Amino acid sequence: MPYEQELIDKPYQIICEGADDCGFFSRLIRDRSIPDIQVGAGRGKDRRCLGDSGFSIRLQAIDDFSQVLNKGIIIVADCDDKPIEKFRFACNCLRQHKLAVPSASLEIAVTRDGRKSSVIMIPAGGEDGGLETLLLACCDGVTTNRGCVDAFCACIPEAPRKIDRDKLRLRSLIAATHPEDPGLALTSWLSTDNRPFAMTHPALDSLESFLLQFIAP
């Protein structure tokens, strides 16, 4: 599937699976004033993100269309389903594009010419889950309608995986706190007007620290 070309003009690149991850990392680097990083994903002709199958497409686009010298690439994936296999897949994509391969999440690998690469598995620390798990940690101070959310989630049969439970809880929280639009898309909820927490939340400090380490000379 051909890549829909877009402006690639930052020396460091974050490659995500989907639009929600792109929205989250874009706001994180903006609100925490982290310079020189651009966030993107492999997309098809319909502009939809292609998930992990878009990693190589985005990597090739960076090689083909970057307007500046690329200094480093981070691939972001969720720990939602077979995280070991997903980590290995991300590493294989890096390897195919002649980038150094890290041995673990949040490790920085460097080629002989100094180009950096890494894989971030969300949430960090090998915890089961995904972006929703990380966002719920940021919502620890949200008490509006929490009782309703607890009751609703208790009524739903136990999901087989933690990521399913966290998706249910986050979607319930969004619906409960936005009755005017209970189906609010996660990317819209992450906007400053709708998000109930600041991107300065301590749960995100470790991600900021890693990104600053990654772009350091």
| Per-residue pLDDT tens digits for 56-85 | 999 999 999 999 999 999 999 988 778 899
Is the pLDDT at 90 greater than 70? The verdict is yes
12-128+201-215 adopts what CATH topology?
Answer: Rossmann fold (3.40.50)
Which pairing describes strands 116-122 and 109-110: parallel, antiparallel, or unpaired? antiparallel
pLDDT-derived band at 5 (thresholds 50, 70, 90) equals low
DSSP helix, strand, coil percent of the chain (3-state; round to 5): 45, 15, 45
CA 61 to chain CA centroid, Å, is 19
Per-residue pLDDT, 2: 46
Residue 102 confidence (pLDDT): 97
Q: Which range among 36-45, 65-74, 75-84, 155-164 has the greatest average pLDDT?
A: 65-74
For residue 162, is pLDDT > 80? no
Average pLDDT over residues 191-216: 95
Three-state SS at 189: helix
**pLDDT value for 125:** 59
Looking at the chain, the whole-number percentage of residues with pLDDT higher than 90 is 71
CA neighbor of 79 nearest in space, from 122, 50, 119: 122
The residue extents of the domains of the chain are 12-128+201-215, 131-189
Q: What is the pLDDT of residues 96-142, one digit of tens each?
A: 999 999 999 999 999 999 999 999 999 875 677 899 999 999 999 99
Amino acid type, 97? H
